[in-house]
Amino acid sequence: MPSLQHVPVIDSHTGGEPTRVVMDNGPTLGEGALSQRLTRFRQHHDEFRSTVVNEPRGSDAMVGALLCTPVDTSCVAGVIFFNNVGYLGMCVHGTIGVVATLYHAGQITPGLHRIETPVGVVTVQLDPDGVVTVQNVISFRHAANMTVKLDDGQCVTGDVAWGGNWFFLVDNYTRPLRLCDVEALTNFARKIRRALQQNGITGADNAEIDHIELFGPPDTAGAHSRNFVLCPGGAYDRSPCGTGTSAKLACLAAEGKLAPGQWWRQEGILGSIFEGSYLIAPGGIAPSIRGTAHITAEAKLILDPRDPFRQGIRGQTPIST
User: What does the binding site for ligand PYC look like in residue numbers (CB under 6 A)?
Assistant: 17, 63, 88, 91-93, 165, 231, 237, 239, 241-243
Q: Which is nearer to ligand PYC, 79 or 310 (CB)?
A: 79
Interatomic CA distance for residues 10 and 321, integer angstroms: 32
* One-letter amino acid for residue 70 of the chain: P
Q: Which is nearer to ligand PYC, 17 or 267 (CB)?
A: 17
Helix, strand, coil content of the chain in percent (nearest 5): 20, 35, 40
Interatomic CA distance for residues 38 and 82, integer angstroms: 10
Interatomic CA distance for residues 18 and 12, integer angstroms: 6
Q: How far is the CB of 27 from ligand PYC (least distance, A)?
A: 22
Interatomic CA distance for residues 224 and 273, integer angstroms: 10
Interatomic CA distance for residues 18 and 208, integer angstroms: 24
Q: How far is the CB of 3 from ligand PYC (least distance, A)?
A: 35
Q: Which residues of 22-50 are buried (b: 16+ CB within 10 A; e: fewer)?
A: bbeebbebeeeebeebbeebeeeebebbb
Residue 236 DSSP symbol: B
Q: How far is the CB of 278 from ligand PYC (least distance, A)?
A: 15
Q: How far is the CB of 314 from ligand PYC (least distance, A)?
A: 20
Q: Count how many Cα atoms sit within 13 Å of the Cα of residue 217 in the half-sphere of its side chain.
A: 5
Q: Which is nearer to ligand PYC, 240 or 312 (CB)?
A: 240
First to last CA, the chain: 41
The H-assigned helical ranges of 207-316 are: 242-254
Q: Which is nearer to ligand PYC, 50 or 95 (CB)?
A: 95
Q: How far is the CB of 269 from ligand PYC (least distance, A)?
A: 12
CB-based burial of residue 20 (10 Å sphere; 0-12 exposed, 13-18 middle, 19+ buried)? buried
The H-assigned helical ranges of 166-213 are: 182-198
Q: Which is nearer to ligand PYC, 22 or 91 (CB)?
A: 91
Residues annotated as catalytic are 91, 241
Q: Which is nearer to ligand PYC, 159 or 213 (CB)?
A: 213
